[in-house]
């Protein structure tokens, strides 16, 4: 039963929102390289969405391109989700390992990432009046992914419905804390750097005089 | 073939134009300040000058002694200029070239023969219908209405009305009369709009009050007032809009007001219909400069303060900025056309601007400290932009096409030209060209319309090919699908 290869597992997980991830867990399936590829595709999609969209749909074309926000909005966000979820669920008797959380969450994002590519493709053929089609695709993608993420978290930790809901809320809170600490750390490092640099200049002046 | 020929012709024409206009370009590039305009991102970029200062006229030039703090200028229906010479308590009337004085109005006669004079007049208006001169006589607290010979027909003073707070002094600064003879007066100490009088001089009420800008402070105050006691409430400051500073009337009877304020950002320029409704309320135009200037000496931000507004014959709106001494010219839809003038000592620079007026291709700016009137003349670039804009705004997109191409010869950054060309090509049915220029203008809205046309054209031209391709692909896909399935099955059997 269920002797699928990696590619078939992807298909199985995405098309079986209720038992797909349970099956994966049971068969210990799921591949990290596939998950990484999915996240990278998401990152590329977010750039496509902002850069290669049909010109008639541009709300406002910005003057500069900066890649950092795109990295933060996809890769960093995802990693924070994984770490936050692992940290929360370890305390809440979750059975998932970091690896499994990473892989399952990435698989769950496939419909959303696919909908972005489809949107970008469609935006080159449609006009503004037909924007509803693009919106429909996006909402279907987002909705599908939300269901899958929920199902992934539920099966990876073997939670009940309500516990999954609570875990997700706590995960989001944990993500906010992690991001806050990151920002704090960055600004502290900067202050330390400024401090060291001013000591260096002070010494350099004194040596000269 | 035909399109190629057209392209070739256009290219040749464009080449010729460049050759012809390159000479003018060199001449018109000399101005003592950096001429700029705003791009799509509201950032200042260098641009061609639309107007150049050609000369300045003082009272001495006119042979009537120097002006003293002139504060208003008005052009009547006979193209004569009425200059309000505030400090000298007189109205100077000159000819249309501003070279000769036609008359000086300093004495006015009542019906019984007695004589009256002005005291610090601030504004003047001449009605084209009734040929009456309206003078805002500031320190005499009245508006004088007289004919060209100075015979007073009406005198408007502080109204004896409940609507008008009797504690306030009547301080008229600007005056206007509409076609029906109603008189509108901007009062220095009234924030509820212009006082409106009928042709008999009876007070009617106020017109065109500004609204209070909904800043966070105002909303916070509103909240605190709801929960505070009456005693506390009486101690807080009230949120009062800034009173209007000046106004002008266009040919269709709309009144344009401007408000000079250091803080207010809404309602700085309004176009009012007879009911007092602001027709410009939906515009996104930021009147004046986008960014405020930071002054290190006073450590204050100075934002544009529009102190006078004037509607030109072709409907363009000239706004005078007190802060920077610049004139901002907009078309009737509120699109920025040109910025000219500066605060400096040279010709074309100002110390404290007071009023603006225009006639044909010339713009006149009164400087109340320098005591003279500066004359700006339209450049070739200015006239071609005006031609194109007027045609475009009137709906003649195709006729505006060639002027727009010419505009681009002068200034390749002029965004309105790309928009205009895109619109014209769309009307002509050249969807690809329209798409190209819409992209250059960075206008998704225009691009969308051109793209729609292009797509319809493309689909109807290639319908057969598309259908054939779709059918072939579908057939090939089905065949391949069954073939693969069959092979898989047989492979499974073998295994």
Secondary structure of A48-108 in HEC code, one letter for each residue:
HHHHCCCHHHCCCCCCCCCHHHHHHHHHHHHHHHHHHHHHHHHHCCCCCCHHHHHHHHHHH
- Give Cβ neighbours of residue B221 (< 8 Å, ≥ 6 apart): B236, B237, B239
Question: What's B33's DSSP letter?
Answer: S
Across the strands, what pairs with B241? none
Q: Is A59 on the interface with B (CB under 8 A)?
A: yes
Ranges of chain B with pLDDT below 70: 1-30, 492-495
Integer Cα distance of B284 and B267 in angstroms: 11
Chain A residues with CB-CB distance to B451 below 8 A:
54-56, 127
Give chain B's end-to-end CA distance (angstroms, integer). Answer: 64
pLDDT, residue B16, reads: 53
Q: Do A56 and B439 touch (CB under 8 A)?
A: no
Domain membership flag for residue A163: yes
* Domain assignment of residue A105, yes or no: yes
The region, left, alpha or beta by phi > 0 then psi within -120 to 50, assigned to residue B288 is: left
Q: Which of B267, B262, B272 shows the shortest CA–CA distance to B212?
A: B267
Nearest Cα residue in chain B from A123: B448
Helix (H) or strand (E) holding B328: strand B327-330
* pLDDT band, residue A181 (cuts 50/70/90): very high
Question: If we measure between CA atoms, which residue out of B149, B117, B119, B156 comes closest to residue B131?
Answer: B149
CB-CB neighbors (< 8 A) of A130 in chain B: none
Select from B437, B460, B459, B462 the least CA-distant residue to B447: B437
Say how far apart CA A188 and CA A194 lie, in whole Å.
Answer: 10
* Average pLDDT over chain A, rounded to an integer: 92
Least Cα separation, residue A104 to chain B (angstroms): 30
Q: How confident is the model at residue A61 (pLDDT cuts 50, 70, 90)?
A: low
Residue A32 lies in a domain: yes
Range B76-81 contact pairs with CB under 8 angstroms and sequence separation of 24 or more: B76/B126, B76/B128, B77/B126, B77/B128, B77/B131, B79/B359, B81/B357, B81/B364
| Adjacency order of strands within the sheet including B194-197 | B172-177, B183-187, B194-197, B203-207
A102 found inside a domain: yes
Distance from CA of B447 to the nearest CA of A (A): 6
- Residue A60 — pLDDT band, cuts 50, 70, 90? low
pLDDT of residue B71: 93
Q: Which helix (H) or strand (E) holds B116?
A: strand B115-117
The C-alpha angle with vertex A121 and arms to A50 and A149, in degrees rounded to 5, equals: 75
Which of A67-76, A163-172, B340-349 is least confident? B340-349
ipTM for the whole predicted complex goes beyond 0.85: no
DSSP A104-154: HHHHHTHHHHHHHHHHHHHTTT--GGGHHHHHHHHHHHHHHHHHHHHHHHH
Residues B353 and B367 sit within 8 Å (Cβ to Cβ): yes
Q: How many CB atoms lie within 10 A of CB A98?
A: 13
A50 belongs to a structural domain: yes
Q: How far apart are CA A192 and CA B470, in angstroms?
A: 64
Determine the Cα–Cα distance for residues B267 and B249; give it in Å rounded to an integer: 17
Q: Inform me whether the C-beta atom of residue A57 falls under 8 Å from chain B C-beta atoms.
A: yes
d(CA B126, CA B315): 19
Which residues span the domain enclosing A81? 6-168
Looking at the complex, report in whole angstroms how far the Cα of residue A123 sits from the nearest Cα belonging to chain B: 11
Q: Which residues have a Cβ under 8 Å from the Cβ of A13 and sit 6 or more positions away?
A: A20, A21, A23, A24, A30, A104, A107, A108, A148
Specify whether the CB–CB gap between A89 and A157 falls below 8 A: yes
| Interface membership of A161 toward B (CB under 8 Å) | no
**HSE-up (13 A, CA, CB side) for residue B34:** 6
- Decide: B392 and B423 in contact? Cβ < 8 Å: yes
d(CA B79, CA B99): 13
Q: Which of A59, A63, A128 sits opposite B448 (nearest CB)?
A: A128
Most A-contacting residue of B38, B440, B444 (CB-CB within 10 A), to test interface: B444
Q: How far apart are CA B22 and CA B13, in angstroms?
A: 14
What does the alpha-carbon distance between residue B475 and residue B250 come to, in Å, rounded to a whole number? 68
> Which of B438, B439, B451 is facing A127, going by the closest CB pair?
B451
Q: Is B427 helix (H, G, I), strand (E, B) or coil?
A: helix
Q: Cβ distance B327 to B363 under 8 Å? A: yes
Look at residue A202 and tell me if it is in a domain.
no
Taking the CA atoms of residue B70, residue B58, residue B82 and residue B149 in that order, the dihedral angle to the nearest 10 degrees is 110
- Chain A residues with CB under 8 Å of B447 CB are 55-56
Full 3-state SS string of B147-196: CCCCEEEEEECCCCCCCCCCCCCCCEEEEEECCCCCEEEEECCCCCCEEE
In a domain, A16, yes or no: yes
Residue B144 φ/ψ, nearest 5 degrees: -95, 130
Contact B452 A55 (CB under 8 A): no
What is the Cα B98 distance to its own chain's centre? 24
Q: Which residues in chain A have their CB less than 8 angstroms from residue B439's CB?
A: 55
Closest partner CB to B444 (pick from A56, A63, A125): A56
Tell me phi and psi for residue B452, to 5 degrees: -60, -45
Please write the tens of the pLDDT for every residue from A4-21: 888 888 889 889 988 889
User: A interface mutation test: which of B41, B431, B445, B448 has the most A CBs within 10 A?
Assistant: B448
More confident residue, A63 or A17: A17
Residues 6+ apart with CB under 8 A from B206: B163, B190, B192, B193, B194, B195, B196
- Tell me if A14 is assigned to some domain: yes
Contacts of B102 (CB under 8 A, 6+ apart): B80, B93, B94, B95
pLDDT of B232 reads 79
Helix (H) or strand (E) holding B14: helix B2-28
DSSP secondary structure letter of residue B213: P
The count of structural domains within chain A is 1
Q: State how far Cα B355 lies from the chain centre.
A: 14
pLDDT of residue A75: 95
Mutation site for A-interface testing, chosen from B415, B449, B451, B466 by largest number of A Cβ within 10 Å: B451
| Portion 89-148 of A in contact with B at CB < 8 A | 125, 127-128
């Amino acid at each position: 039963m269920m002797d699928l290869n990696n590619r078939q597992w992807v298909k199985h997980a995405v098309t079986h929102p209720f038992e797909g991830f349970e099956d994966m867990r049971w068969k210990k399936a799921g591949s990290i390289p596939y998950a990484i590829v999915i996240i990278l595709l998401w990152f590329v999609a977010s750039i496509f969405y902002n850069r290669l969209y049909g010109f008639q749909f541009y709300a406002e074309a910005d003057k500069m391109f900066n890649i950092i926000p795109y990295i933060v909005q996809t890769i960093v966000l995802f990693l924070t989700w994984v770490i936050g979820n692992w940290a929360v669920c370890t305390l809440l008797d979750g059975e998932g390992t970091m690896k499994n959380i990473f892989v399952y969450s990435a698989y769950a994002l496939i419909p959303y990432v696919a909908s972005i590519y489809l949107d970008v493709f469609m935006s080159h053929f449609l006009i503004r009046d037909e924007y509803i089609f693009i919106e429909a695709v996006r909402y279907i993608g987002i909705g599908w992914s939300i269901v899958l993420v929920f199902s992934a978290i539920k099966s990876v930790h073997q939670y009940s419905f309500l516990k999954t809901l609570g875990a997700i809320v706590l995960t989001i809170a944990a993500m906010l804390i992690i991001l806050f600490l990151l920002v704090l750390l960055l600004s502290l490092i900067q202050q330390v750097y400024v401090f060291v640099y001013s000591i260096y200049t002070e010494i350099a002046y004194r040596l000269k005089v | 073939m035909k399109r190629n020929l057209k392209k070739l012709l256009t290219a040749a024409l464009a080449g010729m134009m460049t050759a012809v206009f390159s000479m003018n370009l060199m001449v018109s590039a000399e101005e003592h300040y950096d001429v700029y305009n705003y791009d799509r991102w509201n950032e200042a970029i260098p641009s061609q000058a639309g107007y150049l200062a050609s000369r300045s006229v003082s009272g001495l030039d006119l042979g009537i002694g120097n002006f003293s703090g002139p504060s208003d200028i008005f052009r009547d229906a006979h193209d004569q200029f009425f200059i309000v010479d505030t400090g000298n308590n007189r109205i100077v009337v000159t000819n249309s070239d501003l070279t000769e004085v036609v008359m000086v109005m300093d004495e006015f006669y009542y019906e019984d023969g007695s004589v009256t004079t002005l005291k610090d007049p601030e504004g003047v208006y001449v009605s084209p219908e009734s040929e009456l001169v309206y003078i805002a006589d500031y320190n005499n607290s009245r508006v004088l209405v007289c004919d060209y010979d100075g015979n007073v027909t009406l005198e408007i003073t502080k109204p004896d009305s409940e609507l008008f707070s009797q504690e306030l002094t009547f301080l008229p600064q600007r005056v206007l009369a509409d076609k029906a003879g109603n008189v509108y007066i901007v009062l220095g100490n009234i924030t509820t709009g212009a006082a409106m009088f009928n042709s008999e001089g009876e007070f009617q009420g106020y017109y065109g009050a500004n609204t209070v800008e909904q800043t966070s402070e105002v909303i916070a105050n509103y909240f605190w007032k709801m929960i505070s006691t009456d005693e506390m409430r009486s101690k807080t400051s009230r949120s009062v809009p800034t009173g209007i500073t000046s106004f002008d009337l266009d040919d269709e009877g709309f009144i344009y007001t401007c408000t000079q304020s250091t803080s207010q950002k809404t309602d700085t320029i309004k176009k009012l219909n007879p009911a007092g409704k602001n027709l410009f309320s939906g515009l996104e135009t930021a009147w004046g400069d986008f960014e405020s200037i930071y002054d290190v000496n006073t450590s204050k931000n100075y934002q544009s303060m529009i102190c006078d507004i004037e509607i030109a014959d072709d409907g363009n709106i000239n706004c005078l900025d007190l802060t920077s001494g610049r004139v901002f010219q907009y078309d009737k839809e509120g699109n920025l056309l040109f910025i000219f003038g500066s605060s400096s000592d040279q010709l074309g620079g100002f110390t404290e601007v007071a009023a603006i007026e225009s006639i044909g291709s010339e713009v006149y700016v009164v400087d109340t400290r320098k005591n003279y009137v500066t004359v700006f003349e339209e450049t070739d670039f200015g006239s071609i932009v005006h031609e194109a804009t007027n045609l475009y705004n009137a709906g003649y997109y195709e006729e505006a096409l060639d002027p727009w191409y010419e505009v681009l010869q002068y200034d390749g950054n002029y965004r309105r030209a790309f928009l205009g060309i895109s619109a014209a090509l769309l009307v002509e049915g050249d969807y690809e060209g329209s798409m190209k220029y819409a992209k250059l203008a960075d206008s998704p809205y225009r691009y969308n319309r051109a793209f729609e046309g292009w797509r319809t054209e493309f689909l109807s031209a290639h319908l057969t090919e598309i259908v054939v391709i779709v059918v072939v692909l579908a057939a090939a896909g089905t065949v391949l699908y069954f073939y693969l399935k069959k092979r898989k099955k047989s492979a499974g059997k073998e295994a």
